[in-house]
A = this chain, B = another copy of it.
């Protein structure tokens, strides 16, 4: 199907559609860099306005090695491998740590499945959001 003009097409999503789709998912993937280059790490998340909020470990990759203030991407998709269709959304922005009242309010809204103590609340403050849908029309 790859080069078939009547085959599947990538269709761009509006930013509103992208935010709506983000709201339907519980897991996304943070892309950022540590000293050895890019990393992509799945996290439970929630949306707060136009920020992506997640929790992580003290000293974990997302809090220490990656570093607050670094640029980050956040990707969510829902892909059906059998039907070969789905959508993906990409948020780009900056990693920021949430402090005190902010963290106390947001932390309980994100429950990490992975267990362990994950007291650090992080935000990706978005600067852009884009998405696409693989459309079998």
Q: Residues of A with Cβ closer than 8 Å to B?
A: 1-4, 7-10, 25-27, 29, 31-33, 36-42, 55, 71-75, 77, 79, 81, 84-85, 88, 90, 92, 111-118, 134
Q: Which of A8, A33, A114 has most chain B Cβ within 10 Å? A: A114
Let me know if A134 and B114 touch, CB within 8 A.
yes
Contact between A8 and B81, CB atoms less than 8 A apart: no
Q: What CA separation (Å) do A99 and B118 show in the bound complex? A: 45
By beta carbon, the residue of chain B nearest A113 is B84
Q: Does the CB pair A92–B38 fall under 8 Å? A: yes
User: Assuming the A-B contacts A42-B88, A81-B26, A88-B42, are A37 and B72 also in contact, with contact meaning beta carbons closer than 8 angstroms in the complex?
Assistant: yes
> Which residues in B have their C-beta under 8 angstroms from that of A7?
115
Could you tell me if B40 and A75 are in contact, using CB atoms closer than 8 angstroms?
A: yes
How far, in whole Å, are A51 and B33 apart by their CA atoms in the complex?
Answer: 21
Pairwise interchain contact B38-A3, C-beta atoms closer than 8 A = no
Query: What's the least CB distance linking A31 to chain B, in Å?
Result: 4
